[in-house]
Chains A and B, each alone.
Chain A
Amino acid sequence: MSGFQTNSRVINWIEHRMPVFSFLDHSIGRGYPAPKNLSYMWNFGSLAGLALVIMIVTGIVLAMQYTPHVDYAFNSVERIMRDVNYGWLLRYVHMNGASFFFIVVYIHIFRGLYYGSYKAPRELLWMLGVVILLLMMATAFMGYVLPWGQMSFWGAKVITNLFSAVPFFGEGIVTWLWGDYSVDNPTLNRFFSLHYLLPFVIVAVVVLHIWALHQFGSSNPLGIETKGPQDKIPFHPYYTAKDAFGVGVFLVIFASAVFYFPNALGDPVNYVPADPLATPPHIVPEWYFLPFYAILRAIPDKLLGVVAMFASIGLLFVLPWLDRSPVRSGRFRPIFRIFFVLLLIDAVVLGIAGAKPPEGFWLIVGRLATAWYFFHFIIVLPLLGVFERPKPLPASISEPVLKGGGSPMGSGAGTTAKPMEKA
């Protein structure tokens, strides 16, 4: 099974006692064949891993300077910005790193949505991904509370209050979460503790995610299974090189944000120290929570609003069973494609509605967009699986490339299989 071989006696000595090198080779090396047609959309998994590492490394160093106490937290962050050597850099990387982590992960998720990466036999892989998303959201939320600015405090208050919607036990749960009658020092302390813990839980689930990935390997833009060695290339050096190029592009964009627009994605109100007796006129979460915040506010009932918000992510868990179409890739699903674009627009509209005050025009827009979101997953996807007529699939991954290269006319179409039409 393992094609791993080396002449190095040291490596062989270790390998014999603990087969770590063949494991690596089998995971990300020559021994891991991947479909040869992966596009740049398949770069975002490795980028998400990179973002996680950046967050953990900068976070560990920042924690050495930060003071988790309501009287000192805000000032300790300002001290990091002004007095600690390179503190401004560490904090800006950590702060923008969170945003870029979400950007990369959202692209990764929409890639999966378009190419049907959640379909059999990769359902568990997908569901582990949704678990990672939830853990990321919890981690990001608690991290945002730590600087103890106005948005930190009131964001914490509003989000923990979501649990008061739970029937009967709601108030008890919220008091337990706070450890106090309001968001206060006990809350800040436990959020710091959990904010440090959860990233390592994410690492553990990422390991499971990759484990599940390697069972069947990556999906691919055509969404058909690889038929044999002719459809695959070794992960190393081909995809390690391609991933490394993606890392380069990512770092250029990330560095531009960190060095030139470090506060573009943040809310200036969070540079005002927390005041438990004055709510800011307009509370908004960080941009990556806005679509979910819009769903929460769209429903004029406390419990149902909270239920809808959690359901919007819960739906992703059962997505493999909502979309029953046997064709994975959106390339061969003409109607699905249209609805996919609409969902993408819907997510953006939800994000904008979440940033606006919940009144008048934007409240209506938020409600319509919320309705469309659920309509898409609960009605459209199951019906498409039954009524949509997909385009013919190519016989293999190699076929479109080889056929396209051979015929001067058919090269543009790419995906249509001419022999099948004649047959």
Chain B
Amino acid sequence: MADTATPAQAGSGETRRDFLYLAAGAMGAVGAGSVVWPLIDSMNPSAEVLALGSTEVDLEPIAEGQRISVTWRKQPVFIDHRTAEQIEAAKAVALDDLPDPQTDEQRAQRAEWLVMIGVCTHLGCIPLGQKTGQPRGDYGGWFCPCHGSHYDTAGRIRKGPAPLNLILPPYYFASDTQVVVGETGAGA
């Protein structure tokens, strides 16, 4: 026994101990992580929340210049039947003037219909401008009263603290008078 304890072997014994510490520590970290993850993930949206489907909207009764709000995934969706002037105004803007540059074509599948999630991209308030008499901001679109963000007639951020344009939900036109919010509808 004694003659096997050479200096070289004593050294390798220490590296082996270091290795065991590291390996045990790594296994412990993986184990702790795998226990903590279910606790964290349980706080994410549950299956029944995720299963919320799409919302169908009849466009027939919406007159030109009228704006309506529908609910999709518990959030308001703005549907705006834009007038020719509003479309012109949106198209006339130079992209350089936009904090989040998007052309009007990128904002609306059909120019006369604007479909957007009506939640301010700053801190989640619902911008005003849907109802007659409400302020529409400096650019004739929407105005968020919480922290003063102004959106234009294509729902693009123009002034204020919001970083992005109003978010576009997935949607498609099932027919000329029906839009489905929540699905992209291949082939429609």
List residues of A whose CB falls within 8 A of some B CB: 154, 157-162, 164, 175-182, 184, 186, 190, 276-279, 281-283, 297, 299-303, 305, 357-359, 363
Contacts and interface: CB of A to CB of B under 8 A. Distances in A.
A363 B71 CA distance: 33
Contact of A181 (B75, B123, B160, B161): B75
A359 B148 contact: yes
Interface stretch (B43-51, B55-63, B171-179): B43-51
B45 A276 contact: no
Contacts of B49: 179-181, 186
A158 B69 contact: no
Contacts of A157: 123-125
Interface in B15-65: 40, 43-46, 49, 52
Interface in B77-93: none
B43 A358 contact: no
B110 interface: no
Given A179-B46, A182-B73, 19 more contacts: A157-B123, A158-B146, A164-B124, A176-B40, A178-B45, A180-B45, A181-B49, A181-B52, A182-B75, A186-B43, A186-B49, A190-B43, A279-B128, A281-B128, A283-B146, A300-B161, A302-B122, A302-B123, A305-B161
A164 B75 CA distance: 16
6 contacts: A157-B123, A277-B69, A277-B126, A278-B126, A282-B145, A302-B123
Nearest to A187: B43
Given A157-B125, A302-B163, A181 B46 contact: no
Contacts of A283: 125, 145-146
A175 B75 CA distance: 13
A184 B48 CA distance: 13
A158 B125 contact: yes
Interface in B128-158: 128, 145-148
B162 interface: yes
B45 A158 contact: no
Contacts of B40: 176
DSSP class of B's interface residues: helix, strand, loop or mixed?
Answer: loop
Contacts of B71: 277
B161 A302 contact: yes
A305 B149 CA distance: 14
A154 B125 contact: yes
B145 A281 contact: yes
List the 9 shortest-distance A-B pairs measured between CB atoms, nearest first. A161-B124, A161-B123, A181-B73, A158-B123, A279-B126, A182-B74, A279-B125, A157-B124, A302-B163
A162 B123 contact: yes
A176 B44 contact: yes
B120 to A, nearest CB: 9
Contacts of A164: 123-124
Contact of A297 (B46, B73, B161): B161
B134 to A, nearest CB: 9
Interface residues of B, number: 27
A355 to B, nearest CB: 14
Nearest to B160: A300
Contact of B45 (A186, A277, A281): A186
B148 to A, nearest CB: 5
B74 A297 contact: no
A303 B40 CA distance: 25
A157 B75 CA distance: 12
Contacts of B45: 175, 178-181, 186
A359 B149 CA distance: 11
B145 A302 contact: no
Nearest to A299: B161
Q: Which of A178, A277, A297 has the most CB of B within 10 A?
A: A277
Contact of B44 (A175, A301, A303): A175
A277 B128 CA distance: 11
A308 to B, nearest CB: 12
Contacts of B75: 181-182
A175 B49 CA distance: 12
Contacts of B76: 277
Contacts of B124: 157-158, 160-161, 164
B161 A301 contact: yes
Contacts of A177: 43
A132 to B, nearest CB: 25
A179 B43 contact: yes
Contacts of A186: 43, 45-46, 49
Contacts of A176: 40, 43-44
A194 to B, nearest CB: 11
A301 B74 CA distance: 27
Nearest to B76: A277
Q: Which of B40, B43, B71, B76 has the most CB of A within 10 A?
A: B43
Given A301-B161, A302-B163, A179 B44 contact: yes
Contact of B162 (A276, A302, A357): A302
A177 B40 CA distance: 10
B52 to A, nearest CB: 8
Contacts of B160: 300
Contacts of B147: 297, 358
A309 to B, nearest CB: 12
A223 to B, nearest CB: 42
A158 B75 CA distance: 14
A66 B58 CA distance: 41
B132 to A, nearest CB: 15
A181 to B, nearest CB: 4
B123 A358 contact: no
B184 to A, nearest CB: 18
